[in-house]
Each structure stands twice: as structure tokens, then as C-alpha cells.
Amino acid sequence: MSLVTTKWLEDNLDKIKIIDCSWHMPQKNRNGFEEYKKQHIKNAIFFDLDKNSKKNTDLPHMLTDKNSWENIVSEMGIKNDDKIVIYDNSDVISSCRCWYNFIYFGHNPKLIHVLDGGLKKWIMENKPTTSNLTLIVRSNYKANEKKNLVKNMLEINKKDCEVAQYNTHFVCHFQIW
């Protein structure tokens, strides 16, 4: 995962796409979108993790299908060659889930980044925020699924489980069918 600093983002605000992917556990009684509307980094677009996940499952935040992803990202005005920085303002580091979605659906890994420290650090450093909503022009995003990044129950073996067990900071995502 490629992290960028708050200084780097501040210097490049008008050259990249910025995504706020704040999501909170239900018991926190916080709403990422409502918080985004009140305060976010200039030019940020909100990514609703609940809304933009697979619909026909009881499991939360499962990857959606390719066509849905293309529509979601196109509606956000993001193009295949856009450099993107994702941040969040949550305790569960939801920006990493959004980052993984972009990687899974084939966005160039060199173009997709996470803001180190998220919105909390940005605000602590007294960097500017806004409540102005970003104007979005629909794009025509094309996804290229990296299906090898997801395993089903039959594909998971002892080695995969050992890797997931020891690699708790960078969580591996397994989708069960």
C-alpha cells in the first residue's frame, strides 16, 4: 500500500482525485456521509462503503460485481488513469477497504494511495477543510477484475491461513461463496 503524507496531499490537491471513505461501526452512532457534508478535504468525493458493496448478501462490505463497480466509479467521475488519494475519519481504517476495491478492480496500484493519518491528522495539522460539495462529471471507468486476489473456501489452504494469521496489520480479504 502506498501512503502519502498530508504535506504531499496539500501540495497536490488540484492534481488528483480525493476520496473520503469514512465508515463507522453501528454502535458508534456516527454517519460518515453526514460528517463529510460538514467537513472534508477540498475536492473530496464521498465513497459510501455500505451502498457500494455487494447487495445480495448478508455479509457486510463484500466486493460488488464488475459492472456495478464500473458504474459506481464512473458516477464518482474517476477515470482509469486518475491518481487517487483515499482517506477516512474512522477508527476502523475504512480507507483501506476502498483502496483494496480499487486494486481488486484493476486500478493501477501506482496511482492509488491512502492518506497517512487520515482526516484526523489533517485537522490536527490545521490544514484547510470545507463543507462545499465537489462537482462531479461522470466518467467512463472500465474495471479489470483481479480475481486471484479473492479466494473461496475451497481455495483457502493452511498456508493462506498462516499468512492471514501473522499479517494482521495489512488484512487479507477472503470472500466466502
Q: What are phi and psi of 71, to 5 degrees?
A: -70, -45
Residue range 66-87, pLDDT digits in tens? 898 899 999 999 999 999 999 9
Please tell me whether the overall predicted TM-score, pTM, comes out greater than 0.85 for this model: no
| Confidence check: pLDDT of 168 > 50 | no
Residue range 2-39, pLDDT digits in tens? 899 999 999 999 999 999 988 666 677 777 778 889 99
The one-letter amino acid code at 161 reads C
* SS3 of residue 132 by DSSP: coil
Nearest to 139 by CA among 79, 56, 62: 79
The pLDDT score that the predictor gives to residue 173 is: 44
Q: Tell me the average pLDDT of the chain.
A: 82
Residue range 131-143, pLDDT digits in tens? 999 999 999 999 9
CA angle 104, 83, 60 (to 5 degrees): 35
Domains detected in the chain: 2-145 (3.40.250.10), 146-177 (no CATH)
| Confidence check: pLDDT of 165 > 50 | no
